[in-house]
Structure 1
Amino acid sequence: MIFTTTYILFLIGIGIIVGLASGLLGVGGGFLMVPLQYFALQTIGIPSDLAFRIALGTSLTCIIPTSLSGAYTHVKESKIDILKPGIMFGVFGIIGGFIGGNISTIIPTRALEILFGLLLIGIAINMFLKKDDTENEPKLKLNYLTAGIIGIVVGFFAGLLGIGGGVFIIPILTMLFGFTMVEAIGTSTIFIPFSSIGGSISYMLSGWGANILPYSIGYVNLVNFILIIIFSIPMAHYGAKIAYKINEKHLRILFAIVLVIISLKMLKILPF
């Protein structure tokens, strides 16, 4: 059987880690799920190109229920209306996610790994250097035009890289729209399911008929999906609650550190 006990336990671990990160940091968890699934799939003999496509597609599909769990808690806990801006960005994110997911299937895997790693390093540097959230000044007005442009662009990269887009939209919300870190995290959890839907559909269609793992729909593997979300959904709820009890500066630094570790691994700088 291709799905070994070690592999299954690793997927459970991914679900726990990703769920906590999703709720706590306002990300879909794709920036963790993609590389972790990618490495796990290679250990059971899946070729690197195919492993990366499966990791991308399955990650986006897992993100939908995981982020919805965190979003529900954030909407309840937030002191401001984060539902409206989250939906505004998200509706356009579906379009971008679908386009990005289709384009990713024609780009070499190594190019995607390098792009992913460099983008995360750039975002991490910005988060390290960013001043306290109390000094945020909005540089753009939130309307349908700005939400449309940003939603499509972030959704595109979400679909392209198999992530929900939280690692991109959170810095955008804090830098350009004056959101505090916690407000940006809550809004991100609402945006992410939308962008992930478009990307998931594209990976299912583009991988249809491909010779991949058993129990798969295109590049989305159902075994990975089920094992991950069983643990990621409750952990996302728990992580979202913790987010409102942590100092925002510490939350931002934690977010940046995680990004650096994952980016260095994707760039093959770290040996593990």
Structure 2
Amino acid sequence: MMFPIEYFIGLILIGIFAGFASGLLGIGGGFIIVPLQYFLLKYIGVEPNLAMLISLGTSLAIIIPTSVSGAYRHTRSMDNILEPGIKLGIFGIFGSVLGGFSASMLSSGILEIIFGLLLLFIAVNNIVSLNKEREDARIPFNLISIGIIGFLVGFASGLLGIGGGVFLIAILTSLLGFSLIEAIGSSSVFISLTAIGGFLSYIVSGWGVSTFPYSIGYVSLINFALIVCFSVPLASIGAKYAHRVPQKKLKIIFSILVLYMGLKMLGVLP
């Protein structure tokens, strides 16, 4: 298969946008990487079902180095994010493996509706609590809450090919009493670990099945290489700006992003 020049340009643009958003907001950037890759793959004639699975698997592969770059920058500014991020991430790996395998076997239609409604709730909750610098913790940060939250967010990550940061940041700020910047930092550490589990499951489930050239399972090596070249340095720049932008502005950006994702998952937006 010959790839047209606009395909490569498209991959570079995805890397720039996804990388900056990843570092700035502590999210994996999958909400940008998955739909735009899907559009590009369909544009060059890839069958829709295969295009979707490649978009999901490659997205998680890209998220690993991108979020590590953002996490490293955050840990240089904050020393209290590494431990919660790693604890949640250990459980997240198991969830993302299960989510990744589920994506290749099940229709994610019903789960997309559930996640879409959850994202709408998160966006509304964020806007309501806009002037609160930090909410009181409603549940304790112990082994039970870490295990449940880590596993469920990890499952969503693997299933939908996203880092899971949008879910985790909202949970940490609204239920566990984290400030937004602490949640963003912890989330970038969590995503670095969780994406590994989902990425491996897409390699295994697509082994000998995927017909896309230059790919390992459902992970496209061309897409990965080109997007990562731009997303990794941009994630570091985004993380640097996250510590300069006021918390309220970050919360507004995050809420708009979550609202958009929720409406997209529910099929309200194209």
Q: TM-score, normalised by structure 2?
A: 0.94
C-alpha separation between the residues in 2 aligned to 1:122 and 1:132?
A: 18
Q: Which residue of 1 aligns with 2:53?
A: 53
C-alpha separation between the residues in 2 aligned to 1:114 and 1:48?
A: 20
Alignment of 1:124-203 (within 5 A): 124-203=123-202
Matched letter for residue 224 of structure 1? N
Q: Deviations over 1:104-143 (max 9, x none)?
A: 1112265565555444333323322224342410112222
Check whether the contact 2:130–2:251 (CA below 8 A) recurs between aligned residues: no
Q: TM-score, normalised by structure 1?
A: 0.93
CA gap of 1:211–1:200, structure 2 versus 1, over 3 A, is closer
CA gap of 1:64–1:199, structure 2 versus 1, over 3 A, is same
C-alpha separation between the residues in 2 aligned to 1:38 and 1:123?
A: 26
Q: Which residue of 2 aligns with 1:236?
A: 235
Matched letter for residue 15 of structure 1? G
Matched letter for residue 196 of structure 1? A
SS for the counterpart of 1:105 is: helix
Moved over 2 A (4+): 108-135, 258-271
Matched letter for residue 135 of structure 2? N
Q: Report the alpha carbon displacement of residue 262 of structure 1 after superposing the two structures with TM.
A: 4.0
Q: Which residue of 2 aligns with 1:10?
A: 10
Q: How large is the RMSD of aligned CA atoms in angstroms?
A: 1.7
CA gap of 1:146–1:110, structure 2 versus 1, over 3 A, is closer
Check whether the contact 2:57–2:219 (CA below 8 A) recurs between aligned residues: yes
SS for the counterpart of 2:136 is: coil
C-alpha separation between the residues in 1 aligned to 2:107 and 2:191?
A: 25
C-alpha separation between the residues in 2 aligned to 1:112 and 1:153?
A: 12
C-alpha separation between the residues in 2 aligned to 1:33 and 1:155?
A: 18
Q: Which residue of 2 aligns with 1:210?
A: 209
C-alpha separation between the residues in 1 aligned to 2:81 and 2:163?
A: 17
Q: Which residue of 2 aligns with 1:30?
A: 30
C-alpha separation between the residues in 2 aligned to 1:250 and 1:226?
A: 33
Unmatched tracts of structure 1, length 5 or more? none
1:97 and 2:96 matched: yes
Q: Deviations over 1:45-93 (max 9, x none)?
A: 1122111111110000100000000000000012x51100010101111
CA gap of 1:126–1:90, structure 2 versus 1, over 3 A, is same
C-alpha separation between the residues in 2 aligned to 1:113 and 1:6?
A: 30
